[in-house]
Structure 1
Amino acid sequence: MQKPEKVQEAVEVIRAMPQVRQMPRLGLVLGTGLGGAASALKTDYSVPYEDIAGFPTSTVHSHSGRLAFGSLAGVPVAALMGRFHLYEGYTPEEVAFGVRVLAGLGIHTLVVTNAAGALNPLFDAGSLMAVTDHINLTGTSPLTGPNHDAWGPRFPDMSRAYDPFLVQAAMDAAMRIGIRLEKGVYIGVRGPQLETPAETRMLRALGADAVGMSTVMEVLAARHMGLRVLTISSLTNKNLPDCMAETSLEQVVAAAEASSQNLGRLLAELAPALDTPSRGNDAA
């Protein structure tokens, strides 16, 4: 388990920054190639991760590695511009570090974005998907080890890891602005290799609609700390095991960048719902 004092040290460093004029109520994690969604943000200040005590450094070139402060349609927000992954060699605790810092700053809602491969044959590459549930196939968790009771319970409930009210709000917002938004289950794997055809068949048989190499560690940490969570996946490629097309990181990034403007529009439309009081993750 992460040492709470390391997280608190980073929180105090940020709170002492005179450029950060208001503490965020909303947290945002921008995934691979999705930096363009930041166009929806009015950014007041950003700081490199390496300038914040304890922060890991993102090693993926499509992640800018900065913490940005500003607003989303008037809602105070802090955005992790780039994340950390298990495949980079980071521990689950390091992957979840940024989310825990955002929680320490006082956010009540976390919006996680990612680039993912579509497993559901009815979903098209280039579209967005609201995550309704996940399958953790990484074999690990940021909650392993001694529990820090001030953060959350030893055995946190995950029956509604993704807030049903926010998922429905996202579907409604997408309809208002004319964006197709799918709903489905995300399966998290370690990577960094992409899936074989046989693995793709297995993942689909397990009930997943999209596969990716991030998000799960962050969501587990966020829910442990009582945050509401909404996750939106950018479906960058289509995994069809019987006619598997080769793909590359460059193609994934390009596809994510192409969908990032729609993601930004969706987030801006969603902002009022994201800033509503908690409904205890019990809304239908």
Structure 2
Amino acid sequence: MSAPLLDVRNLSVTLPFPSGPARVVRDLSFSLQAGERLGIVGESGSGKSMTALALIGLLPAIARTHGEIRFEGRDLVALPEPERAGLRGARIAMVFQEPMTSLNPVHRIGDQVAEPLLIHGRADRATARAEALRLLDRVGIPRARERLDAYPHELSGGQRQRVMIAMALACRPALLVADEPTSALDVTVQAGLIALLKELSVELGMALVIISHDLAVIGAIAERSLVMYGGAAMEEGASRAMFRAAIHPYTRGLVGASPGRHAVRGARLAAIPGTVPSPDRLPPGCPFHGRCARGTDLCRDMPPPFVGGPASRAACHHPERAP
């Protein structure tokens, strides 16, 4: 097998809290081949978005990063910011969670889609505008020529998200990071965006990291999935097979709390007790200790080893048997 396009090794991100520094991403490792689609799933506060920001190099200035993010053979953590800025938008691009705040409200849509081409010297203004029109049409914006001179507030939420995708694709990146790209959209629009991202990944040979709290979204688009909690990896495997045969109690909890096609009408979904604790209050061992019915003193005090299951590997002292 060829070297991975993206190889994350023991990534940790530390932020200051009133009680002192705490890790919001904890010793995270995963890899991604060119053209592969990886889903990262977990509750709010599990470290998904911080992982995305670490990949793209947009963490807040107060963050401290340790470990390696090797992209096309280069460690992005050690790369000087001018060189990393040259990759951002050109080789690695991102679709942010909220397009209304990510798009500039006073700039026209066409100018914003063309901007990456101009910044990275890929085209002159006339060529960049023509490419912006092509991209808007490609991502399914109706009456794309008219939308070139529209402002973000004149588009629907789903259309704004498609504009964000067009901007990200302008320089044909090798890796696209999409952070909750379908949040706050109705299910019909969600389905269209999922199909578009999957189609573009295949068409362009582009690797995709898609982040979501929605297992249905992840299962529909990602070949592999990584389940995070408390900034750490809980379980990783082939998406649909892992969700059917999860061995980590947290993954089982997420699956049980998600409505499925075969759910009994009127039946209550299972809930994971408690809430995600603040990163500065996590135990030294498994971060899920305290909400886990199988948790012991060993789980609280010792980081769990990775153990293999029929469809995944999980960081757990007491994994469940696959159904």
Q: TM-score, normalised by structure 1?
A: 0.27
**Higher-RCO chain (CA-CA 8 Å, sequence separation at least 6):** 1
Q: Which has the larger radius of gyration?
A: 2
